[in-house]
């Protein structure tokens, strides 16, 4: 099968391969534009291209719509590599808005202007699924942009299109907001209110405060993860829920999310009380016990539904006239209090299971500024004291 290369610009080449005839009997030529630093590199890619055409594995971009490529991307990448919740959210964005608006476009015909018009449409009144007035938030539009950009970049990496039009579009600007959390006085009030609640719920909230763990990580804990001798817990799994899957267990969010965390002795004592009460409940239930080794279970021993605590927590706060806070806000509260006490950012990042210290610094910039102000005030007191002593 014959083939040749043509230089089309700086580091750009067009590959040409003859492959049979079209419907009218004319000799057919398959073409693909690539990036290569030299003719030799382009000719190597030409050999690969010839093999694709011979094996009928090549799909002509001119015939491939965005929707069709998304199908390839989901099958060959997303379904195998993305976390279940991430995949669910991406499919929801694709099916709800992205594909209805752009799915019919030929992949190679998508231009930056198409994306800009789509993002503009997302800001228009009536686009929200909940029926509320106004368009989508800048953050939600940014999520759509990142998904589209990732899919188009895969098309570039797989040499279906020569460049990614999303890279030429400035993503929506999102205003950074300070994370919502409690201060020390509010935490004290919440802990006092927890004394009036069932111990299972009290332990969940206190664990979230003491460890900064994510909800799924806490709901996935088993008793074998608790080391009462060394006062630590180990994060090995997370419990999550999706409508199409129900409750399920998965590995932690990333490699650094699998971690061992030191826990205060008072919290370990609370865990012992909870374990004893769970054992009593198991005896009462008898043969109906379903045999789960989880820390937090239903009345018959099955793993507790992961969203149960998310539904319970705001109602608990309202009952006790405490300020509104999401359950995830307990994680932010834990990190903020640790930073306020002077715990190094690196240590806080490790406890939270973040992939990098930079991530932690970006999220808790406000807390770091507060710590910096406090340091400056202490330094001022020290310098003033030294000056006064010299004058005396």
Within a 10 A sphere around the Cβ of 211, how many other Cβ atoms?
A: 26
Helix, strand or coil, per DSSP, at residue 37: coil
Surface-to-core class of residue 185, CB atoms within 10 Å of its CB (0-12 exposed, 13-18 middle, 19+ buried): exposed
Q: Which pLDDT score, from 0 to 100, does residue 23 have?
A: 65
Measured between alpha carbons, how far is 280 from 303 in angstroms, rounded to an integer? 17
Q: Is 263 within 8 Å of 249 (Cβ atoms)?
A: no
Supply the mean pLDDT for the chain: 87
Look-up of token digits 């080449």: 13
Q: Which pLDDT score, from 0 to 100, does residue 28 have?
A: 84
Q: Which has the higher per-residue pLDDT, 218 or 290?
A: 218
Q: Is 322 within 8 Å of 190 (Cβ atoms)?
A: yes
Side-chain half-sphere CA neighbours of 123 within 13 A: 11
Q: Is 155 within 8 Å of 146 (Cβ atoms)?
A: no
Q: Which pLDDT score, from 0 to 100, does residue 380 have?
A: 61
Side-chain half-sphere CA neighbours of 316 within 13 A: 23
Q: Which of 298, 262, 269 is nearest to 282 (CA)?
A: 298
Q: How confident is the model at residue 382 (pLDDT cuts 50, 70, 90)?
A: low
Q: Express each pLDDT in 324-353 by its tens digit.
A: 999 999 999 999 888 888 888 899 999 999
Q: Which pLDDT score, from 0 to 100, does residue 179 have?
A: 77
350 alpha carbon, distance to own chain's centre? 17
Look-up of token digits 């030191």: 262
Give the global pTM.
0.73
Measured between alpha carbons, how far is 88 from 93 in angstroms, rounded to an integer? 9
Q: Is 45 within 8 Å of 14 (Cβ atoms)?
A: no
Q: Express each pLDDT in 92-124 by its tens digit.
A: 999 999 999 999 999 988 999 999 999 999 988
Measured between alpha carbons, how far is 256 from 90 in angstroms, rounded to an integer? 24
Measured between alpha carbons, how far is 51 from 72 in angstroms, rounded to an integer? 20
DSSP letter (8 states) at residue 6: E
- The 8 Å CB, 24+ separation contacts for 55-58 are 58/30, 58/32
Whether pLDDT at 62 is above 90:
no
For 163: left if phi > 0, alpha if psi spans -120 to 50, otherwise beta; the answer is beta
**DSSP secondary structure string for all residues of 255-266:** GGGSEEEE--HH
| Tokens at 142, concatenated | 């940014």
| Tokens at 202, concatenated | 């009290």
Whether pLDDT at 31 is above 60:
yes
Helix, strand or coil, per DSSP, at residue 22: coil
Q: Is 296 within 8 Å of 221 (Cβ atoms)?
A: yes
Q: Is 182 within 8 Å of 333 (Cβ atoms)?
A: yes
Surface-to-core class of residue 364, CB atoms within 10 Å of its CB (0-12 exposed, 13-18 middle, 19+ buried): buried
Q: Which pLDDT score, from 0 to 100, does residue 391 have?
A: 56
Within a 10 A sphere around the Cβ of 232, how many other Cβ atoms?
A: 16
Task: Find the helix or strand (DSSP H, E) in which 40 lies.
Answer: helix 39-54
Maximum mean pLDDT: which of 214-228, 238-252, 285-299: 214-228
Q: Express each pLDDT in 239-280 by its tens digit.
A: 988 887 878 888 887 777 889 999 999 999 999 999 999 999
Q: What is the pairing mode between strands 12-21 and 3-9?
A: antiparallel
Q: Which pLDDT score, from 0 to 100, does residue 1 have?
A: 60
Cα dihedral across residues 142, 119, 99, 58: positive or negative: negative
Q: Which pLDDT score, from 0 to 100, does residue 292 have?
A: 80
Please give the angle made by the CA atoms of 20, 21 and 23, to the nearest 5 degrees. 145
Domains of the chain: 3-58 (no CATH), 66-168 (1.10.150.130), 184-371 (1.10.443.10)
| Tokens at 156, concatenated | 């570039």
Helices then strands, each counted (H, E), the chain = 16, 8
Task: Find the helix or strand (DSSP H, E) in which 186 lies.
Answer: helix 184-194
Helix, strand or coil, per DSSP, at residue 108: helix
First vs last C-alpha separation in the chain: 96
């Amino acid at each position: 099968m014959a083939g040749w290369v043509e230089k089309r610009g700086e580091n750009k080449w067009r590959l040409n391969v003859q492959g049979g005839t079209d419907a009218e009997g004319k000799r057919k030529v398959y073409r693909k534009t690539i990036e290569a630093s030299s003719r030799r590199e382009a000719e190597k890619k030409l050999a690969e291209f010839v093999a694709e055409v011979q094996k009928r594995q090549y799909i002509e971009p001119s015939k491939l719509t965005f929707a069709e490529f998304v199908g390839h991307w989901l099958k060959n990448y997303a379904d195998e590599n993305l976390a279940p919740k991430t995949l669910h959210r991406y499919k929801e964005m694709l099916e709800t808005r992205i594909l209805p608006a752009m799915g019919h476009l030929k992949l190679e015909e998508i231009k930056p202007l198409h994306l800009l018009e789509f993002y503009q449409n997302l800001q228009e009144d009536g686009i929200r699924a909940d029926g509320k007035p106004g368009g989508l938030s800048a953050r939600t539009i940014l999520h759509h942009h990142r998904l589209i950009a990732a899919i188009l970049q895969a098309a570039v990496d797989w040499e279906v299109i020569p460049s990614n039009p999303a890279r030429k579009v400035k993503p929506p600007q999102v205003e950074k907001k300070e994370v919502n959390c409690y201060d020390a006085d509010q935490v004290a009030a919440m802990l006092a209110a927890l004394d009036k609640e069932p111990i299972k719920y009290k332990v969940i909230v206190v664990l979230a405060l003491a460890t900064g763990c994510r909800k799924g990580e806490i709901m996935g804990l088993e008793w074998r993860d608790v080391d009462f001798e060394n006062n630590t817990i180990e994060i090995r799994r997370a419990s999550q829920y999706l409508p199409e899957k129900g409750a399920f267990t998965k590995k932690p969010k990333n490699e650094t999310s699998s971690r061992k965390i030191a826990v205060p002795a008072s919290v370990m004592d609370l865990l012992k009380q909870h374990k004893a009460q769970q054992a009593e409940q198991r005896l009462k239930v008898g043969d109906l016990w379903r045999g789960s080794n989880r820390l937090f279970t239903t009345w018959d021993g099955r793993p507790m539904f992961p969203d149960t605590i998310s539904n319970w927590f705001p109602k608990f706060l309202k009952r006790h006239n405490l300020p509104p806070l999401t359950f995830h806000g307990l994680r932010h509260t834990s990190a903020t209090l640790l930073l306020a006490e002077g715990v190094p950012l690196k240590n806080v990042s490790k406890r939270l299971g973040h992939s990098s210290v930079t991530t932690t610094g970006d999220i808790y910039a406000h807390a770091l500024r507060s710590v910096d102000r406090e340091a400056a005030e202490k330094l001022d007191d020290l310098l003033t004291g030294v000056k006064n002593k010299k004058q005396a």
